[in-house]
Structure 1
Amino acid sequence: MQYDRVIWGKFIERPNRFVAQVEIDGAVETVHVKNTGRCKELLLPNVDVVLSESDNPNRKTKYDLVAVNKAGLGLINMDSQAPNKLMAEWLSTQGFDYIKPEYSYGASRIDFYMEYRHKKYLLEVKGCTLEKNGIGYFPDAPTERGIRHIHELIRAQKEGFAACIAFVIQMPKVKEVRPNVETHPAFGEAMVKAQRAGVQVLFLGCNVEPDSLTVDPKRIKGKFF
């Protein structure tokens, strides 16, 4: 996936989860943050950030904050919409007969429903931006919604679907994601139950550039079809 009209800036502060103050060419600009998560380990004073200029002249903010440079690791894409967009692009190259995003199942909307030769698939996508010692962790904050989706996938697997949880790793070098049990133990417990039930786990490592996010074929781990 591509971003248009990107520029660099210096992060100053984040008054709330929706906006940040960023220095651009010596001037302070209020920008939209495309991730409502905490991201406290990423958005530190004076770090370099990447901004994408909006094409909507009626917006209150001119720029979206889409990536941040983390010392010792490199550029991390923190756009929460990017994982599903990237997954849609990647799935379109995988030979499925039919792909439908935002599929209603049970009490949830699962990110993707696919078909291949009469086999039905359900895929839930999680973006990962939290890294410790070369390992990715999810979630960075408690997610009851995430647990509900896992239980839906367990039920779908029992009903004959091929169910999968895919982690889109929005940073370089990292090859796998582990449940962040320190932050949300219940998520780790749900993941164990899912894998025991046959739900597959897929990791998609990404190449991150200021103006793009692409799947790194060398960092794809796991299969479900």
Structure 2
Amino acid sequence: MPVWSPALQFPPLVEGRFIKRLNRFAALVDVEKREYLAHVPNSGRMGELLVPGYRVLLNPAPAGSTRKTAYDLALVDTGDALSSADARLPNKLVAEAIAEGRLPQFAGYPAVRPESTFGESRLDFLLEGPEGSCYVETKSVTLVEDGVGLFPDAPTLRGVKHLHSLMAAMDEGHRAGVIFVIQRADVETFAPHDEADPLLGKTLRTAATGGVEVWAYRCRVDERSITLADEIPVRL
């Protein structure tokens, strides 16, 4: 089902080459044969993206900034696809799509509250309307193998906790769902990555069986923008 939400525009990006990751949030990149520190806005392993020599598109730090990193890592070119590396974007894409009425499953909820706490979790959205309340969590996906988007790429107890919170919300009479946003276009279906985190896969299947709704969307990505493009099948 097509969505084609309004594109999030990137500022002018600088081309470079990935050298190596230094820690969860920092990497070394080459720009015009000079090495710079870049902020990695994603705590996932992203082993399929953070490959030495891959072309990267970088967002320069603001002029006059005193931060240690000269750039933010924005996009990675794998040779087959351009992928966003920024785990913050799915929330923005989903929020805009909801606001524009492009996700029909949420048409009955005119009020949207971001980062709403339920139990021990801070979930990304609480939607409210005449039909009641709906808690929604979004997850960023960058790993694609043979056309299948996979989440997570490493064990995530936080992700498991979010799913338990969604199930608890269901138990209290609320609607609940999780949206997996694959930040690249070369994907046809989505599935939990059992090899990386069997507990997450088991919990997701239990949640879905109990009524938690599961959606997956792929993105259209170019060097100027990223767009939530269309829904793809979920294989549980």
| The one of 70, 73, 98 aligned to 1:65 | 73
Counterpart in the other structure of 1:184? 197
Q: How much does 1:175 deviate?
A: 3.2
Equivalent residue letter for 2:222: E
What's the secondary structure of 2:9's corresponding residue?
coil
| Contact 1:158–1:197 (CA under 8 A) maintained in structure 2 | no
Structure 1 counterpart of 2:111, one-letter code: Y
Q: Distance in 1 between matches of 2:164 and 2:26?
A: 33
Alpha-carbon shift at residue 24 of structure 1 (Å)? 0.9
Counterpart-to-counterpart distance in 2, 1:85 and 1:38: 22
What aligned pairs does 1:79-94 form with structure 2 within 5 A after superposition?
A: 79-94=86-101
Q: Is the 8 A contact 1:124 1:166 kept in 2?
A: yes
CA contact (8 A) 1:123 1:165 kept: yes
* Equivalent of 2:41 in 21, 34, 39: 34
Q: Name the TM-score, length of structure 2 as normaliser.
A: 0.88
The alpha carbon displacement at 1:62 in A equals 2.1
Is 2:75 the counterpart of 1:49? no
Which residue of structure 2 aligns with residue 137 of structure 1?
150
How far residue 106 of structure 1 moved from its aligned partner, in angstroms, is 0.7
- SS state at 2:185 partner: coil
Q: Percent identity?
A: 37
Give the corresponding residue for 1:9: 16
The CA deviation at 1:158 is 2.3
CA drift at 1:78: 1.1
Following TM superposition, the consecutive aligned residue runs of length 4 or more in structure 1 with deviations greater than 6 angstroms are: none
* AA aligned opposite 2:149: G
Q: Which residue of 1 aligns with 2:3?
A: none
| Separation of aligned partners in 2, 1:89 and 1:53 | 25
Corresponding residue pairs, total: 219
What is the letter of the counterpart of residue 71 of structure 1? Answer: G
- The CA distance in 2 between the partners of 1:89 and 1:206, in whole Å, is 14
Q: Say which SS state the counterpart of residue 23 (structure 2) adopts.
A: coil
- Identify the residue that residue 209 of structure 1 maps to in structure 2: 222
Give the equivalent residue in structure 2 for 1:220.
Answer: 231
Aligned-residue Cα RMSD (Å) equals 1.5
**Aligned residue among 23, 26, 33 for 1:19:** 26
Counterparts of 2:110 and 2:43 in 1: how far apart (Å)? 34
Post-superposition offset of 1:153: 0.7
Q: Distance in 1 between matches of 2:160 and 2:58?
A: 32
One-letter code aligned to 2:59: S
Structure of greater relative contact order (alpha carbons < 8 Å, 6+ residues apart): 2
Farther-moved stretch of structure 1 (103-112 vs 84-93): 84-93
| Equivalent position of 1:121 in the other structure | 134
Counterpart-to-counterpart distance in 2, 1:81 and 1:99: 18
Tell me how far apart the structure 2 counterparts of residues 63 and 99 of structure 1 sit (CA, whole Å): 32
2:142 aligned partner, one-letter code: T
Instruction: Measure, in 2, the Cα distance between the counterparts of 1:49 and 1:20.
Output: 12
Letter in 1 for 2:225: S
Between 133-142 and 54-63, the greater mean CA deviation after superposition:
54-63
Distance 2:153 2:71 in 1: 24
1:52 is aligned with what amino acid?
N
Moved more, 147-156 or 87-96: 87-96
